[in-house]
Amino acid sequence: MGSKRAAVEFLVAFLLNFLLTISGQDSIYYPLDNEKSVGEKCIRSDGLSGICENIENCPQKNVPLQNSDFCSFSCQTVIYCCPEVLEKIEKSKTSLRLVEEICEEYYPRDTFEILVVGGERSLPEEHPHMAAIGWSSEDGIDWRCGGSVITNKFIITAAHCTSSRGVQPDIIRTGDLNLLETENDTYPVDFKINGIFVHPQYSASLIYHDIALLKISPEFEITSTTKPACLWATEDIPQQELTALGYGTLEYSGPQANTLYQATIPILPNEMCSLKIPINEHFPNGIKDGQMCALDPNGQKDTCQGDSGGPLQFKHYIGTVSMPAIVGITSFGQYCAGPSPGVYTRVSAYLDWIESVLKADQ
């Protein structure tokens, strides 16, 4: 009903303005319910955060508009709920962080687009940055962790995924939906790990600074099934619900899924998260700034064993360009789904270290 009413209001205002124009009178202003002015925040019909802007300045003006996304209008000016951007499009690259420059390299802004416990299966090419981390042996490959492609030769993952019973992983797979099946409309590619960079403050006996970078060989060939994600550069996150990805189990102590699943999980503020996770010898200081939490209030969706190192992300829009923005890395949890939150390494807290590793390799 709301979208139909907005359309009727818009049409009435347009006709009135037309009559006034041909009669030589000034245009009129026709208000909407809960109207907003230029610069005010708004929520779009697609659930994304937006900013009310003159429709002529809206980066999405060339794609179909939704009636329910109008903020207000006079008959000479339409104020529309445009997708919120992290920076102004004209912002110079010299003021961007290295990780942001890398993001722009893979997601140029002049590109045009039309706009997991309890999780759903992912589709081919839906998450081309997703990687599986494996330990090879005579018996085959044991896939125990996930990770994300962030450049043409680096994967980001959890530090605790860099060793299993004293043995380091040696293989990365990208472009796969099912790690066991060979015919699922995907094009998996395996790479050797030839460099492991663990955060210097990480300790295997504690659950802090749980972040690492893996360097692969040869470099990735960027395709529709293997493409880097962007790293979210600020602590503020424009979405209240994030998507977790993983190949892990679908229930606590259950069998490995081996299929890429995704689950949408609400963010839980750190203060509330600290109340839900008991202090112990591995977690003596509670939740710290370099961590974040997510919890499904219905206890149905969560990350689980085997999902470690995988991304917590959302789809970010700059104009008509969409890109996966990683805000967290799956670190630990007490159970899979239920009343206990999942804990993730907050990526924005470690950008200085990440960039130092990337720069040293240039």
Domain membership flag for residue 91? no
SS3 call for 69: helix
Number of domains in the chain: 2
Here the CATH number for the domain that contains residue 274 is 2.40.10.10
Residues 76 and 138 in one domain: no
Domain membership flag for residue 341? yes
Q: What is the pLDDT of residue 196?
A: 98
Choose among 248, 278, 281: nearest CA to 343.
278
pLDDT tens per residue, range 276-321: 888 888 889 999 999 999 988 765 554 554 478 999 999 888 766 7
Domain membership flag for residue 4? no
In terms of residue numbers, what domain contains 72? Answer: 28-86
Q: Using 50, 70 and 90 to split pLDDT, how confident is the model at 356?
A: very high
Residues 151 and 82 in one domain: no
Residues 332 and 202 in one domain: yes
Residues 53 and 158 in one domain: no
Residues 70 and 197 in one domain: no
As to burial, measured by CB atoms within 10 angstroms (0-12 exposed, 13-18 middle, 19+ buried), residue 35 is middle
Query: What is the total residue count of the chain?
Result: 362
pLDDT at 143 over 60: yes
Residues 211 and 299 in one domain: yes
For residue 194, report the phi and psi dihedrals to the nearest 5 degrees.
-120, 15
Q: What angle do CA 288, 264, 250 make, to 5 degrees?
A: 95
Domain membership flag for residue 118? no
**Is the pTM here over 0.75, yes or no?**
no
pLDDT tens per residue, range 221-274: 888 889 999 999 999 998 899 999 888 644 433 445 578 888 889 999 999 999
Domain membership flag for residue 6? no
Choose among 223, 216, 331: nearest CA to 273.
331
Residues 179 and 237 in one domain: yes
Domain membership flag for residue 97? no
Residues 315 and 251 in one domain: yes
Q: What is the pLDDT of residue 120?
A: 45
Query: How big is the chain by its Cα radius of gyration, in Å?
Result: 23
Active site residues: 160, 210, 308
Residues 43 and 163 in one domain: no
Domain membership flag for residue 332? yes
Q: What is the pLDDT of residue 75?
A: 62
Residues 233 and 348 in one domain: yes
pLDDT tens per residue, range 28-60: 334 455 788 888 888 877 667 788 888 777 765
Residues 262 and 268 sit within 8 Å (Cβ to Cβ):
no
Distance CA(13)–CA(53), nearest Å, equals 19
Domain membership flag for residue 197? yes
Question: Strand 49-54's sheet: what is its strand order?
Answer: 41-43, 49-54, 78-83, 70-73
Residues 313 and 212 in one domain: yes
> Which range (84-98, 132-146, 195-209, 284-298) has the least confidence?
84-98
